[in-house]
A and B are shown apart, each in its own frame.
Chain A
Amino acid sequence: IMNAFGLIQICLILLCTTTISSLQCNHLPLQQKKVIEKSLKLLDKMGKRFPQQCLREKAFFRFPEQVLKPRQKETVKVAIEEIFQHIFYIFSKNLTLAAWDGTALEQFQNGLYQQIEQLEACVIKKQSHYFGSKEVNRMKLKKYFKKIDCFLKDKQHSLCSWEISRAEMRRCLQLIDKVIRKP
């Protein structure tokens, strides 16, 4: 009896979760705009102006802008969600030397992650392949973020390396913001 009740409970929970998720999947693109708006504000809020001494260490990361330009709007949306994921994981590394505002950083991460989790549920449900398996752009995106990750590791997560990365992520989000605002 306990097993049956337990199983029914689980089925109900899964059913409810899927129903709720399916309702949210349609509105994800609308929420993306809000997430980007808030993320940009928090990114600015968490630190001060770019420190002068770090200008010497400027590294050149080439963000693959083609990822945001494909013909299908659907592909762009998923590319944006993947970028959110990468940004989320970049900011989850060792941040002690960055000395940023902890509250703003928490809110920034929290907001990104909520969006990621919602989309994950939609992707799992639909089980569709958004990217072609030989999509070059997707690999370029991964390369770009891996380069930033390696840069941070090489500089031992110093203050300047974090400030440079933050400026780079800001640029990235602004690019996305521009793309999303186009009708």
Chain B
Amino acid sequence: GQTNLKSPQDIHVYVVNTNFTLRWNYTGNDTNVTFSAEYRFEDFETNEAEWQELSGCQNVTGMECDFSSAITKYYNMHHVRIRAESRGEVSPWSSIFEMVPYDIAQIGPPGIELQSRNGVIKIKVSPPEANQVRKMVIDHPSFKYILVIWENSSSAEFRSQSIFPTAIIDDVSPDTTYCLKVQATLPFDSKEGLFSPIRCVKTTRKAVNNLHCATNVSVLALNMDFHLHWNNQYKHHVSYNVQYLIGYLKKLHDDYSTKWLSVPGCENITVTQCNFSSVITTTGFYYLRVEAITEHNKSCLSNEVKVEPLITNEIGPPGVKVDISDVLLHIQISPPGGAESELMRDSYDLSYRILYWKNSSNNEDEIKMKEIKQTIGTVSDLTPATWYCVKVQAFTEIYNKSSRYSKEECIRTPKGKFIPLVILATFSIALIAVFLVATPLGFALYQAYNKIKYVFFPSCQPPLNIEGFGQFLNSPYLSATEEPIENFSVIEHIITDEINQVDFKDYKHSKQTSRDSGNYSNDDDTSGNKASEVLEKEMV
């Protein structure tokens, strides 16, 4: 039953690799107290589970117990509780401790093997849980090791670097004692393991006969054409072997020294450069090194160079051609690398940046920019009769790289006003031409038509007074309308009589006046004139 026994407090679990330790505090006065723990774990399928005895933590007298054998599901949520027992009485259960084993587990210390020779330190790291059957971390290659090294002197500075399981530390001074420690980490799980015990080692003297080693090994790459360059102080009788290693093998194999391969075409060469494009692909990365062999068969390996093809590679400039039509500038881009670099363009997902500007005497015209994905671009809104210059650069957003600009290509836009005038003139001329040609032609055709009609299809209507044709006529002649007949009669006498009766008073009056002018009347022929004048008056 319930008694005055206090329940244990501050219950927590401490895990290193797969070693589970339960710890708690007990503030009760009673002696002869034992503790027993229970646990349950949540499965993803079932929500509730039963409390079970925690093996390894039953009737424990101390303040901690090891229950490693009980836990097998490292990714599931577990609950743990403990209570005190004394003389048949049990305390209430402590508060529940929740845990996901993998989350709270600490990575144990790795093992170290050291070798000191030739002025360098060679390290071989063995993973935590190396020889254990049950492992918290199933993929040992996933560990990333951090080395902390310092000189064993009073004013030493710590220096930390990330290393592979097999590593050579060559940036050390000869004949010096160095101390170091290593920890295993899992970056993705944000886990940093416990450090190994500190080990100290003394470096030897550097071997002096390394003058013939290749130095300054560097990579130059343009449009996926990769070249390795190096120097050598010792010029005579040295032949070289260029070797490469596929990048991921360093991670997976502790001893990758057997995985180096020779670059085809760069075996036993005497020049200090090598074209290693044949071994490069666009996926992944590589290490390159140069082995120098003297005539005495002494071999020396250079430093390694890491090559990440798509990052190391330099994209060459594209080719540009410009063409103009009316108010549109057409830009034809030929991609860098030519026909054989389809893979490069696909890996980079290349786009093109076009810069264009007016090439006038005052250089204050702004440079305009246009970005396109295709290899054909057009620019509109151009001023006529101006020189425009264009240059293009290829770039990739994925790798944040851009090529140099291509050469400038310039072209002049045609005169603007010329164009509508040309159209107008052409139209007018065409119109006039049409009229000039069409009208006489039409007329000629009409005449021809008439002639033909006259000759071949005459409209033969006979004169009216030919007998025999009357029967062809539907209606006889209509009685002609009365033609106006004028009654002519001689009326000479009447005219002279009428003239004598006319009052001469007015006439004399007018005659006198007319004499004055003289120009308009003839004195000699006055009688006749008088008569005709009167007659005219009457007639009017």
Interface of A with B (CB < 8 Å)? 2-3, 6-7, 9-10, 14, 23-24, 26-27, 30-31, 34, 38, 42, 78, 81-82, 85-86, 88-89, 92, 106-114, 117, 120, 123-124, 127, 129, 133-134, 136, 139-140, 142-143, 146, 149
Contact = CB atoms under 8 A, between A and B. Distances in A.
Interface in B157-215: 157, 159, 161-162, 171-173, 187-188, 190
A56 B400 CA distance: 49
A113 B250 CA distance: 11
Contacts of B139: 85-86, 89, 92
Contacts of A117: 251
B141 A30 contact: no
Contacts of A30: 397-398
B173 A3 contact: yes
A10 B75 contact: no
B102 interface: yes
Interface stretch (B86-94, B279-287, B317-325, B365-373): B279-287
Contacts of B252: 92, 109
Interface string B359-403: 000000000000000000000000000000000000001111000
Nearest to A42: B283
A24 B397 CA distance: 11
Interface in B50-82: 75-76
Interface string B111-145: 00000000000000000000000000011011010
Interface residues of B, number: 40
B441 to A, nearest CB: 68
B187 A110 contact: no
B44 interface: yes
A9 to B, nearest CB: 7
Nearest to B281: A107
Question: What are the 5 closest A-B residue pairs judged by CB atoms, nearest first?
Answer: A110-B284, A111-B283, A113-B248, A89-B139, A139-B75
Nearest to B284: A110
Contacts of B308: 114
Contact of A149 (B138, B172, B190): B138
B151 interface: yes
From DSSP, what is the main secondary structure of chain A's interface residues?
helix
A86 B189 CA distance: 13
Contact of B138 (A27, A88, A146): A146
B400 A27 contact: yes
Interface of B: 44, 75-76, 100, 102-103, 138-139, 141-142, 144, 151, 157, 159, 161-162, 171-173, 187-188, 190, 246-248, 251-252, 281-285, 308, 311, 347, 349, 397-400
Given A85-B188, A89-B141, A107-B284, A139 B247 contact: no
A142 B161 contact: no
Contact of B284 (A82, A113, A133): A113
B246 A106 contact: yes
B188 A110 contact: no
Contacts of B398: 27, 30-31, 34
Contacts of B102: 139, 142
A112 B283 CA distance: 8
A120 B188 contact: yes
A110 B247 contact: yes
Contacts of A24: 311, 400
Given A114-B308, A134-B100, 19 more contacts: A3-B173, A7-B157, A10-B159, A27-B397, A38-B282, A88-B248, A89-B138, A89-B141, A89-B142, A109-B248, A110-B247, A110-B248, A110-B284, A114-B247, A127-B190, A134-B103, A139-B100, A140-B44, A142-B102
Given A110-B284, A120-B187, A27 B399 contact: yes
| Residue of B172, B283, B285 most packed against chain A (CB within 10 A) | B283
Contacts of B141: 89, 92
B34 to A, nearest CB: 32
Contacts of B171: 6, 9-10
Contacts of B44: 136, 140, 143
A22 to B, nearest CB: 11
Contacts of B161: 10, 14
